[in-house]
A = this chain, B = another copy of it.
Amino acid sequence: MNRNIRTDLAIELREEMKDRQDLEGVNISTTVNEDQDIRTTVIDVLNEEGEKKLGKPKGTYITIESESIREFDEGIHMPLCRELARQLDILLEGADSILVAGLGNRAVTPDSLGPLVVDNLFITRHLKDCGVEGKKIISGICPGVMAQTGIETVEIIRGICENIDVDAVLAIDALAARSSRRLNRTIQLADTGISPGSGVGNHRKAVNQETIGVKVIALGVPTVISVPSIVNDSMDIMADAFNQSHGKALMETFTEEQRYALACNMVEPDLVDMFVTPKNIDELIKRISFTISEAINSMNA
């Protein structure tokens, strides 16, 4: 869980752009399953131009959204599970042996998504009859976080991949969103791996094909909002509250990045290391982690 950045969601970066028509180097397509209330958006960042425009590394970002996830509507579980499994099948095509890495801190509720998913997986790598008849070989690991281990996640995952036969890593992690509207309601898949520090030029800690040696698919759910995002959101309303044409005019000249930097300056320094999450995060995380683990399990059903 990385909470110091604006958003981990490609779809939110896309939305923030003022002029939506002209986005060179980025392809976007959306499919809606109206009956079931599931919307799948595929964003392809094609080249360096696209990387610069969107602020995300070259690759494919798939967002599966459903308003119903949070409403504890039992009916949404199965269709969501199927759509996720369908996308995983495509992204993991050709990979017979998959290491599922449940990133995050089990002891902090909104960060426990990854460990909870791995807890509920049907692990097969150690079973004698696994890997036959086109079944995937599933292994799992919960590496913990830096404060618990003193070790970079990438060092643990790479070490395991060098010692066992793995074709792909599926890294599950809690993400930060910009808007409360997407919280615990969105699943993002990416074939670029997880690059926590990419926004701040720190490529050392990334968990991706380059650092691990095998394909890394990232699966994330936004479970927290950063504190500056909250302040950022309230700035327009505040300008209105002050009935302040100068303030409003000023706000309009800012880019999203400038706004976010301003918001960061408007909060106490130690708040930047805090996060915002719903009171019932325990129920939300339990529910969505179950859907994700069942989708992964269903690849072998």
Contacts and interface: CB of A to CB of B under 8 A. Distances in A.
Interface string A162-187: 11100000000000000011000000
Interface residues of A, number: 74
A146 interface: yes
Nearest to A240: B266
A283 interface: yes
A198 B245 CA distance: 40
A265 B241 CA distance: 10
A200 interface: no
Contacts of A230: 227, 230-231, 267, 271, 276
B246 A243 contact: yes
A46 interface: no
Contact of A283 (B137, B147, B164): B147
* Most interface-central of A144, A155, A225, A238 (chain B CB within 10 A): A238
A155 B160 contact: yes
A141 interface: yes
Main secondary structure of the interface of A (DSSP, over half): helix
A267 B137 CA distance: 35
Given A144-B141, A160-B155, A283-B147, A275 B276 contact: yes
Contact of A238 (B105, B235, B268, B278): B235
Contact of A247 (B137, B244, B268): B244
Contact of A159 (B156, B227, B276): B156
B237 A265 contact: yes
Given A237-B266, A238-B266, A277-B277, A141 B156 contact: yes
A124 B271 CA distance: 24
A212 to B, nearest CB: 11
Interface of A: 1, 3, 105, 107-109, 118-119, 123-127, 137-144, 146-151, 155-156, 158-164, 180-181, 225, 227, 230-231, 233-235, 237-239, 241-244, 246-247, 250, 262-263, 265-268, 270-271, 273-283
18 contacts: A1-B279, A108-B279, A118-B148, A124-B150, A125-B150, A126-B146, A140-B149, A141-B143, A142-B142, A155-B163, A225-B271, A233-B267, A238-B266, A242-B242, A242-B246, A243-B246, A275-B276, A275-B279
Q: Please name the 3 residue pairs, one residue from A and one from B, whose CB atoms are nearest each other, closest first.
A: A159-B159, A125-B150, A242-B247
